[in-house]
Amino acid sequence: MKAFDFHYGPRLIAGAGATERIGALLPQGRCLFVTDAQVLNLGLADAALASLAAQGMEAVIFDAVEADPSLGTLEAAVALGQEMGCTSVVGLGGGSPMDVAKLAAYLLATGEDLDTLWGVGRALGKRLPLILVPTTAGTGSEATPVTIITVGDNEKRGVSSAALIADHAILDAQLTLGLPRHVTAATGIDAMVHAIEAFTSARLKNPLSDLLAKDALRLLSANLLIACDDPANMEARSAMLVGAHLAGVAFANAPVAAVHALAYPLGGHFHVPHGLSNALMLPHVLRHNMAHALPLYAELGCLLVPDVRGEGMQAQASALIERMGALSAASGLPQRLSEVGVGADHLDMLAREAMKQERLLINNPCPVGEADARRLYEAAL
C-alpha cells in the first residue's frame, strides 16, 4: 500500500433540527453570518439566527452572495466582518455562501493578501471559528478545504488549504425540503461526480477516500430520484445530505479532475449552474478516460448496476456511464450544451479556458490537452 495522508474534515452534526445548536458551538461575540438573499427570504436561516440570539450573540448578516461568487463579493463580506469586529463566521446556504464564508473566516483572522493564497497549500494561518450549514445536497463545500471565487468577468480561481476546513458542519435535512427539482437534481449529480472523480483521482486516491466515495455513490444513486419525485421525503433528503458530505470528504483528500476542469468555463462564461455543468460533461469525460480507468469504472458500474457483476469489465464500466446518463435524464436536467446557450463557435474559447484548470487536470486518470477538451465539448453540444 502506498503511503498517504488523510484529513477527516470538520466535526459533523447531523439530524433534523440540528441547526438549532449553532449558538452553543461558537464563542461569544459578533458572528458574520454569510448567506444569500433567497435563503434568507425563505426562512431557512431562521433557526440558526434564533440560536445565535438565544446565546446572546449578534449576527452580522451578509446576504449578498450570488451564484459563482465574485472577488468583489468576498471582499465586501470581509470588509463587513472587519467593520463590525466579528469573531466567528457561519456560512449557510449552497456552495457559494459556504465558499465565501470559508475564505472570509481566514482573511478576517490573518489579514493576508489573497493574491498570495491562490492554489494548493498556501493558506497556512489560523482562521476564525467557522460553522458551515449546507441547504443543498451536492457541493460538499462544508466538508472541504476548497473555495472557488470568480475573478474578473469569468475566471474561476481556487484556494485549497486545510486551514479552510470548518470546525463544524451541520447537516439538517429540514433545510433541503423546499428545494426545487432542478436544484435537487443538479446538486445531486454534482455530488456523484465528486465521488466518481475522487475514486479515480490520479494523484492522491487512497483506501479511505475510496471507501467514502463508494458509500457516497451508493447513497446518492439510491436516493436522487426519490428526492426529486418526493421532495418532502426526509429519509431521502437526509441520505442525500450524508452522501454529498461523504463525497466532499473523499474529494477533499483525492481531488477532482477533468469533469470539473471542463465544467468551470461553462459556469464562468455561460452562468450554467455548477452541478449542471458537471452533469453535461460527465459522460464524455468518462468515455475519454475509459482505457486508463477501466477497472475502477467497472467497480463503480457494479455498484450502481449489480446485474452486470457477471459480465466483462468493459460492460461493467459502460454500465457506469449509462446509469449516470439515465439518472441525469430522469431527473429532468438538460442533456446537451446547446440547451444552455453553448454553440459551435464557443468551442475553441472553452477549450482554452479549461486548460487554465491545471490543479484539476493533473488529477485526471489520463491527459486532457486543449484538442481533447475541444473534442469533448463538441461531443456534448
> What CATH number did the domain enclosing 230 receive?
1.20.1090.10
The tens digit of pLDDT for each residue in 24-61 reads 999 999 999 999 999 999 999 999 999 999 999 999 99
Instruction: Specify the long-range contacts of residues 229-237, CB closer than 8 Å, at least 24 apart.
Output: 231/177, 231/178, 231/179, 231/181, 231/184, 232/177, 234/16, 234/173, 234/174, 234/177, 237/137, 237/173, 237/176, 237/177
What is the number of structural domains in the chain?
2
Check whether 152 has a pLDDT greater than 90: no
Are 362 and 229 in a shared domain? yes
Which structural domain, as residue segments, surrounds residue 73? 11-175
Are 92 and 202 in a shared domain? no
Are 219 and 358 in a shared domain? yes
Mean pLDDT within 198-220: 97
Are 83 and 200 in a shared domain? no
Are 46 and 149 in a shared domain? yes
Q: Tell me how far apart the alpha carbons of residues 194 and 189 are, in angstroms, rounded to a whole number.
A: 9
The tens digit of pLDDT for each residue in 328-358 reads 999 999 999 999 999 999 999 999 999 999 9
Mean pLDDT within 160-165: 95
Domain boundary among 124, 143, 175: 175
Are 351 and 306 in a shared domain? yes
For residue 311, tell me if it sits in a domain: yes
> What CATH number did the domain enclosing 107 receive?
3.40.50.1970
Domain boundary among 175, 198, 225: 175
Are 359 and 240 in a shared domain? yes
121: left (phi over 0), alpha (psi -120 to 50) or beta: left
Please state, rounded to an integer, the average pLDDT across all residues of the chain.
Answer: 96
Q: What is the pTM of this model?
A: 0.95
Strands 155-160 and 146-151: antiparallel
Are 31 and 125 in a shared domain? yes
Check whether 244 has a pLDDT greater than 90: yes
The tens digit of pLDDT for each residue in 284-304 reads 999 999 999 999 999 999 999
